[in-house]
Structure 1
Amino acid sequence: MSNVLITSKMFGRYSPEPMECLVKAGLTILPNPFEGRVLSEEELVQLIGDADAVILGNERITERVLDAAPKLKVIARFGVGYDRVDVDAARRRGIAVTITPGANVEAVAELALGLMIALLRKITEADQKTRMGEFPNILGVELSGRQLGIVGFGRIGQAVAKRALAFDMKVVAFDITDRSYEAESLNTNLLSLDELMATSDVISLHLPGGVNTNRLIGRRAFSIMKRGSYLINTSRASVVDTEALVEALKSGQLSGAAVDVFDVEPPPADHPLFALSNVIVTPHMGGSTDKATDKMGMMAVQNVISVLKSGLPLNPV
């Protein structure tokens, strides 16, 4: 009998099917007394000792955690990012690391566009002032006719482009991979990163975490960006230098930003972005929709069952 530890707080939230599949496969669900929040390293060490598999949320899997998991065979990420997992350390131990590619594409793309509209039309500010008894004439900015620069033109970036085009935006993109075919089919021009930043009214980030993208958007990038532009980040916090972002927002180099991801989650109450009125913050909810969580749940379960039954991951990193 194999044991599964579930740390993802969204697993099975909207449908019992993923959990039922684990039970039908003869797997035992280990108790998680910290259910509903991201676990610390110490908490993971306490819980993971008897686990053959873990369905992972946003926790960090470190060398110390792996040392405490002698039975572990598979780490199934409930999502597509795996920068919080020490993949090399897992591979040295013969532990498979899997992801759920494509499951949250529509959800993240919709949030990115929603944040874009809310930011440019100042919807959160209008809501707060109206509730306080004010009835101000708030001047917003239309998306129509503006240039959207998409940094990272994979599946999510392309889904954002489709939605932005429906709002009559001009869409340009940058990617280190050749995306010529996809760009042509989506009426999107591919630019260098510097040209994209210098000419775009709104920039939306859709990049993976890792060494190659760490703090890619920092002081130099902000200095190149079109003055008064907007930044949307629904990808990874590590892509943006937060200190430089705060400086750009305070100086007016950026008119506003919307951020769904943080270096530390949940972020501290004194996070510098919280003090700025031209910022919208959300709690890493890009993939948190009914359909996306069901898809991710089922894909994570299928990865776990495949590795435990045959040793072969379906969606390996």
Structure 2
Amino acid sequence: MRSVICVHERFDAVWPFAADHWQKRWQSDCCELYRSLEPEARAPHLVPDPAAVQRLVLLGLPAASDDLAPFTSLEECFHSAHGDQPRDGLDEAQSRGVHIIPHRIDIYWGQSVAEYGLCLTLCGLRRIPQSHTAMIGSLEPWKHGPEVGKPGAKGVQYCDDSRFANGTLGGKRVRVVGAGNIGARYASWCSAMGADVAIWDPFAPDATFAAAGAKRRFHLPELVKDAEIFAPMLPLKEDTRGLIGQDLIDALPHGCLVVQVTRALICDTEALYRRVLNDELALAADVFDVEPVALDSPLLGRHNVVHTPHNAGRTKDANLAWVDDQIARFRPRP
């Protein structure tokens, strides 16, 4: 059994740990790895004696007829395209009996994004990034005592902002849009930490809500009206762009913490940012309407905003999960 992986470095730029992990997983088969940075690189030019290959993995390389035709002994093939690269060779290979492994929907970063969303939620509630930054240049963060005659504003170890959702996640009303790979995970963890969780998703089965420990909401206005933490966690598609419109944003209770880790434009960001800048809402976001965020954006460095530069999904663990899922769908070998 000869197994070959061909990877272009443009693929490595997206999934930097995937190709090497794949080769390691197939190490017992003496898997060969060929890497190229040439813009016009093609698999037959990288692989010596392609006619002797039984398993082929193409990562970021074309899969046209001319690319696969030399692999005359091919039994199985996985292809991950880059941009609009040709892939017509896959149909032809399938017609001659090659088992084509389809690229499944991108589920691999669900754990990473959901964990990141949970972290942003906790950071937004407790103002952890603001405290971290403040203590670098000042001793003021250590001064917890209230001003004389003004009880209830400060106290020992108290660093929260009472104008917004703050304190523990336990007991908070968490409202989630989307019970998919990310939203369901996030909801289940919030529930496990004692939050009162409700989800809107017209497509998810009832079992998903039960597994997440969440109540089902059938109408978005009902979901948002009592939210202390609001987390829209959907992919950005034609039918989800702007789904959370101005009317829903304006219906969020004063002080609500909005958590964004999938795509910002699920929401009417103009309405969202307006309320954040007016100190009506708090924001914990890894995604924005325009990226990168301009350095003079009024969102940056605010007391009621936790921001990160679209980091949530691509952990090394997500890379390995991506590979493991593809390998699991190849035929078992003795």
Contact 1:198 1:225 in 2 (8 A): yes
Answer yes or no: is 1:289 the counterpart of 2:289: no
Residue by residue over 1:173-223, the C-alpha shift from the partner in whole angstroms, topping out at 9 and shown as x without a partner, is 001204312212333111121111111110112101110111223322211
| Counterpart residue number, 2:154 | none
Q: Determine the structure 1 residue equivalent to 2:265.
A: 238
User: Of 41, 50, 53, which residue of structure 1 is paired with 2:41?
Assistant: 50
Structure 1 stretch displaced more, 140-149 or 101-110? 101-110
Q: What amino acid is aligned across from residue 185 of structure 1 in structure 2?
A: A
Which residue identity does 2:13 align to in structure 1? K
Q: Do 1:223 and 1:253's aligned partners in 2 also have CA atoms closer than 8 Å?
A: no
Residue 290 of structure 1 and its aligned partner are, at CA, apart by 3.6
| Deviation of 1:90 (Å) | 7.5
What is the RMSD of the two structures over their aligned residues, measured on CA atoms? 3.7
Partner Cα distance (2:294, 2:172) in 1: 34
In 2, Cα distance between the equivalents of 1:105 and 1:118? 20
Equivalent-residue separation in structure 2 for 1:4 and 1:259 (angstroms): 33
* Letter paired with 1:273: L
Counterpart of 1:227 in structure 2: which amino acid?
H
Quickly say closer, same or farther: Cα 1:50–1:4, change in 2 above 3 A. same
Alpha-carbon distance between aligned partners in 2 of 1:200 and 1:188, rounded to the nearest angstrom: 14
Q: How does 1:1-317 map to 2 (within 5 A)?
A: 3-6=6-9, 7-9=11-13, 11-13=15-17, 16-18=20-22, 20=24, 25-26=31-32, 28-31=34-37, 47=39, 49-51=40-42, 53-55=58-60, 74-75=79-80, 98-99=103-104, 101-133=106-138, 134=140, 135-137=142-144, 138-140=159-161, 141-142=166-167, 143-191=169-217, 192-254=219-281, 256-274=282-300, 276-299=302-325, 302=327
> TM-score, normalised to structure 1's length?
0.70
Could you list the per-position Cα deviations for residues 235-275 of structure 1 after superposition, in whole angstroms to 9, with x for gaps in the alignment? Answer: 12331333222101022331x11111234544443445325
**Residues 1:20 and 1:186: Cα distance change in structure 2 (over 3 Å):** closer
Contact 1:76 1:98 in 2 (8 A): no
CA distance in 2, matches of 1:11, 1:209: 21
Q: Deviations over 1:72-116 (max 9, x none)?
A: 994358xxxxxxx78xx9889979983464432322221111110
Decide which moves more: 234-243 or 245-254: 234-243
Unaligned regions of 5+ residues in structure 1, if any?
A: 33-46, 57-65, 78-84, 310-317
Distance 1:9 1:175 in 2: 33
Q: Judge conservation of contact 2:185–2:212 (CA < 8 Å) in 1.
A: no
2:198–2:214 Cα contact (<8 Å) kept: yes
Question: 2:179·2:204 contact (CA, 8 Å) conserved in 1?
Answer: no
SS at match of 2:176: strand
Aligned residues: 270
Q: Does structure 1 retain, via aligned residues, the 8 Å contact 2:18–2:322? A: no
Displacement, 1:55?
4.5
On the 8 A contact 2:287/2:309 being kept in 1, the answer is yes
The one-letter amino acid of 1:278's match is N
Q: Residues 8 and 236 of structure 1: is their aligned pair in 2 closer, same or farther, counting only changes over 3 Å?
A: farther
Q: Distance in 2 between matches of 1:240 and 1:122?
A: 23
Pair member with larger Rg: 2
CA distance in 2, matches of 1:206, 1:8: 27
What is the TM-score normalised by the length of structure 2?
0.67
Name whichever of 182-191 and 208-217 sits farther off. Answer: 182-191
How much does 1:164 deviate? 0.7
Measured after TM superposition, the shift of residue 124 of structure 1 is 0.8
What secondary structure is seen at the aligned counterpart in 1 of 2:225?
helix
C-alpha distance in structure 2 between counterparts of 1:127 and 1:275, whole Å: 12
Q: Is the 8 A contact 1:207 1:213 kept in 2?
A: yes
Find the aligned partners of 1:208 and 1:93 in 2 and give their Cα distance.
Answer: 30
Which whole-Å CA distance do the structure 2 matches of 1:251 and 1:10 have between them? Answer: 37
Higher relative contact order (CA 8 A, sep 6+): 1
Letter in 2 for 1:283: P
- SS of the counterpart of 1:199? coil
Deviation of 1:10 after TM superposition, in Å, equals 5.8
